[in-house]
């Protein structure tokens, strides 16, 4: 059964209601604070067998002695005179053991616990604790009596699945504190495990859980001066997707976006990234997508093995689930909840990936709330502060060196759903001005079954040069120049293809046709990747390098074909062989035979070298 939250007595009341926006006034002299969480108690007798409803809301704007708050649930039945409880706290999340493998809503309510107690039709006004209050954890202290303690220091650890969960000193801790008493053993998250004492002889009891306001980033400089710093991202996030890792890399601790129209494959692409990326923790934020897509993630992850070989994908995943049928305000809060959880695990020294699907729904929720507040609108009625809000979210990603010398990272990839695939709309444009990797999906490529349908002529990555040193040290000095050469080949091939659409094949030279076929060959065998093949679904970097070297060799060979039919025959056969090569397992006899066949065909082809 779910444990309910205890609340103080009401100190304010409703004086106006407009959809999910309410106006409050204090009953006494209790001040109303911006971003404070309040609870509305709808008027009327409690129904038999039903608990009292507490509707959670957040104060958005304070005007004199009154304030306007957005309610995170339906306001049906709420009326003037209903009492309001002030929590005195910002909208916050609970940080402690038990977050992994859990499905929360945007306000960190555990959906499985609520469903177990109330059924699958979630009632409104139910207050729950985010973390299990009865489960016991084996706490192993990392400090002893007399040790000095500062905010963010590791006080102890508990095993959370296969991860070591660090219990840290509260991020709000200030002043000079030292450990007075330490307990070791098995405890619930609310039992006192450590007692601190400061230089004023005040004591403070600490448990394994703390709270942090979601709209504020957890500061990087929490821990001891000189031992914690924000680092420049210098390593790629290996996704095992050839198109991303080779052509449009995302830095570990960096920012990327995947905009695209309906049906272009955003959901499959983000699922592949979350499944196979080389990270410790994955946080999936469904901030307003359709329920079907969310259900797919929830049902598949517990049964799919973790690429690390230890447990399932769900063991390393937190899902924040707010579908398009859920209240607007909760959808808007969900992305802040997810990124705060990501910062928490980064603070432990883990590599975290946050997938937000989609930030367009989040921005639309902001637009609806802004409209009800009667704020001056910006382009397409989005709030004028849309650009700064998007930047504020993505800039919370980054790489952090912790007090223990570990390096943690938070990589954020947001999907964008522009109406009609229009990349000029405000959400996409604001996102493009913030992120450093743009993976633009194309409905035309999706129609041709070119998956992933990322258009290489629209997409770009500013990390390519930034990660140059890593590529030179780990792959080779020629990697980046060769990649740039292949992107240029794709551009030239597209120009020739467009010319052929006007003039036909007879309107271009054999040399131009060879160039066009090389670009098509590169696209077909390297940029496309089969998400439903057990081998091709994930290509480790070493396998990518081997395939790319072969493709590059063919793409840069100066052929001397006599006519266009010979050109077409050669590249059709090579494309078919390479497709089979992509499906063959490393070290298999099939792969060895295919490599030999590719080399034979290449040696037999007429080139300027052997023609001479």
Q: Which residues are annotated as a binding site?
A: 260-267
Omega before 452 cis (within 30°)?
Answer: yes
Q: What residues contact residue 595 under an 8 Å CB cut-off, 6+ apart?
A: 550, 581
CA distances from 528 to 88, 107, 456, 551 (A): 53, 38, 11, 13
The pair of three-digit structure tokens given for residue 121, joined into one six-digit string: 């039709």
CB 420 within 8 A of CB 251: no
For 437, the token pair is 């990797």
- Residue 158: helix, strand or coil by DSSP? strand
- Enumerate residues 6+ apart whose C-beta is below 8 A from 203: 180, 195, 196, 197
CA quadruple 328, 333, 338, 344: dihedral, nearest 10:
-170
| 286: nearest Cα among 249, 326, 252, 314 | 326
Query: Could you tell me if 160 and 316 are in contact, meaning their C-beta atoms sit under 8 angstroms apart?
Result: no
**What per-residue string of b and e applies to 37-55 under the rule 16 or more CB within 10 Å gives b?**
bbbbbbeeeeeeeeeebbb
Sign of the alpha-carbon torsion through 240, 340, 99, 369 = negative
What distance in Å separates the CA atoms of residue 417 and residue 259, rounded to the nearest whole number?
6
Q: Is 541 helix (H, G, I), strand (E, B) or coil?
A: helix
Binding residues for ATP: 260-267
Cβ neighbours for 583, distance < 8 A, ≥ 6 positions apart: 530, 533, 535, 536
The DSSP call for residue 76 is T
Three-state DSSP class for residue 107: coil
DSSP class of residue 527? Answer: I
Cβ-count burial of 122 within 10 angstroms (0-12 exposed, 13-18 middle, 19+ buried)? middle
Q: How far apart are CA 289 and CA 286, in angstroms?
A: 6
Cα–Cα distance for residue pair 483/249, rounded to 1 Å: 11
Sign of CA dihedral 303, 285, 442, 410: negative
CA atoms within 13 A on the CB side of 305: 5
Please name which of 449, 108, 450 lies closest in space to residue 283, comparing C-alpha atoms: 108
């Amino acid at each position: 059964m779910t444990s309910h939250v205890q609340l103080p007595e009401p100190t304010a009341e409703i004086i106006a209601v407009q959809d999910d926006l309410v106006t409050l006034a204090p009953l006494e002299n209790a001040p109303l604070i911006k971003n404070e969480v309040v609870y509305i108690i709808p008027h009327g007798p409690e129904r038999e067998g039903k608990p009292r409803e507490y509707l959670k809301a957040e104060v958005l704007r304070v005007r004199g002695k009154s304030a306007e708050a957005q309610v995170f649930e339906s306001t049906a039945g709420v009326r003037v005179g209903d009492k309001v409880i002030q929590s005195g706290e910002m909208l916050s999340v609970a940080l402690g053991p038990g977050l992994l493998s859990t499905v929360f809503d945007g306000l960190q309510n555990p959906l499985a616990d609520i469903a177990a107690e109330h059924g699958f039709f979630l009632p409104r006004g139910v207050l729950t604790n985010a973390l299990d209050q009865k489960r016991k954890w084996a706490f192993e202290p990392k400090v002893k009596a007399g040790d000095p303690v500062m905010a963010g220091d590791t006080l102890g650890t508990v095993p959370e699945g296969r991860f070591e969960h660090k219990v840290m000193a509260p991020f709000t801790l200030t002043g000079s504190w030292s450990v007075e008493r330490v307990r070791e053993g098995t405890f619930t998250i609310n039992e006192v495990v450590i007692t601190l004492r400061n230089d004023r002889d005040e004591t403070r009891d600490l448990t394994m859980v703390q709270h942090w306001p979601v709209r504020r980033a957890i500061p990087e400089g929490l821990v001891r001066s000189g031992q914690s710093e924000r680092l420049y991202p210098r390593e790629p996030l290996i996704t095992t997707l050839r198109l991303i890792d080779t052509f449009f890399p995302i830095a570990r601790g960096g920012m990327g976006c995947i905009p695209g129209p309906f049906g272009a494959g955003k959901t499959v692409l983000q699922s592949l990234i979350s499944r196979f990326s080389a990270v410790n923790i994955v946080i999936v934020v469904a901030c307003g997508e359709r329920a079907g897509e969310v259900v797919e993630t929830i049902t598949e992850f517990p049964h799919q093995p973790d690429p690390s070989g230890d447990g399932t994908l769900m063991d390393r995943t937190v899902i924040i689930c707010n579908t398009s049928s859920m209240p607007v305000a909760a959808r808007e809060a969900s992305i802040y909840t997810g990124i705060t959880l990501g910062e928490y695990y980064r603070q432990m020294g883990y590599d975290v990936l946050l997938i937000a699907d989609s930030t367009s729904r989040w921005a639309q929720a902001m637009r609806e709330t802004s409209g009800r507040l009667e704020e001056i609108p910006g382009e397409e009625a989005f709030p004028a502060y849309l650009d700064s809000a998007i930047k504020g979210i993505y800039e919370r990603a980054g790489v952090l060196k912790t007090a223990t010398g570990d390096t943690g990272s938070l990589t954020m990839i947001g999907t964008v759903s522009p109406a009609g695939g229009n990349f000029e709309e405000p959400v996409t444009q604001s996102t493009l001005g913030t992120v450093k990797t743009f993976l633009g999906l194309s409905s035309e490529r999706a129609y041709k079954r070119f998956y992933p349908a990322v258009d290489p002529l629209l997409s770009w990555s500013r990390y390519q040069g930034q990660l140059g040193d890593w590529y030179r040290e780990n792959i080779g000095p020629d990697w980046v120049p060769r990649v740039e050469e292949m992107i240029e080949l794709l551009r030239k091939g597209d120009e020739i293809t467009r010319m052929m659409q006007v003039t036909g094949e007879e309107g271009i030279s054999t040399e131009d046709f060879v160039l066009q076929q090389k670009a098509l060959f590169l696209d077909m065998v390297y940029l496309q990747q089969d998400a439903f093949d057990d081998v091709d679904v994930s290509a480790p970097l070493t396998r990518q390098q081997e395939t790319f070297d072969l493709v590059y060799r063919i793409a840069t060979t100066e052929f001397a074909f006599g006519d266009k039919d010979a050109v077409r025959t050669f590249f059709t056969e090579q494309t078919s062989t390479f497709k089979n090569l992509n499906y063959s397992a490393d070290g298999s006899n099939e792969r060895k035979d295919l490599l030999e066949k590719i080399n034979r065909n290449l040696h037999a082809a007429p080139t300027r070298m052997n023609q001479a």
